[in-house]
């Protein structure tokens, strides 16, 4: 955990967030400034600053994040090709990364029907 990392504080429940999914590897919560009707952040519990800080041993974690995205899509009933969703990872300042903790944006235009 990075001492001043916002997402580490959310992972450790030091800061409240609207959590929609959690397991031993990741936490998923609603973005506080949503760009789409569904805008969630899939955040690993282990601190990695960015996609460029991943190690080969993190391959299982990254694939787990994708499988969690599948579960979220099913939960929100947007798992068909007609509706769909986007997964987005930003890297660096010019790439749009605002928080120095690896995370994947889960974005969907369809309103959730949970």
Residue 7 lies in a domain: no
Residue 82 lies in a domain: yes
Other C-beta atoms lying within 10 Å of the C-beta of residue 44? 21
- How many domains in the chain? 1
Query: Mean pLDDT across the chain, nearest whole number?
Result: 93
Residue 108 lies in a domain: no
Residue 12 lies in a domain: no
pLDDT at residue 78, as a whole number: 92
Show which residues are catalytic. 103
45-81 pLDDT, tens per residue? 999 999 999 999 999 999 999 999 999 999 999 998 8
Residue 83 lies in a domain: yes
Residue 54 lies in a domain: no
SS3 letters across 66-92? HHHHHHHHHHCCCCCCCCCCEEECCCC
CATH number at residue 25: 3.30.428.10
20-31 pLDDT, tens per residue? 999 999 999 999
Range of the domain at 94: 17-42+69-103
């Amino acid at each position: 955990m990075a001492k001043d990392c916002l997402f580490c504080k959310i992972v450790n429940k030091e800061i409240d967030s609207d959590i929609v999914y959690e397991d031993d590897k990741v936490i998923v919560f609603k973005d506080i400034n949503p760009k789409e009707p569904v805008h969630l952040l899939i955040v690993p519990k282990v601190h990695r600053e960015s996609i460029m800080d991943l190690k080969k041993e993190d391959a299982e974690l990254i694939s787990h994040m994708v499988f969690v995205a599948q579960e979220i899509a099913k939960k929100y009933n947007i798992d068909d090709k007609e509706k769909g969703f986007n997964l987005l990872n930003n890297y660096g300042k010019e790439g749009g990364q605002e928080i120095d903790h690896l995370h994947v944006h889960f974005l969907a235009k369809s309103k959730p029907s949970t």
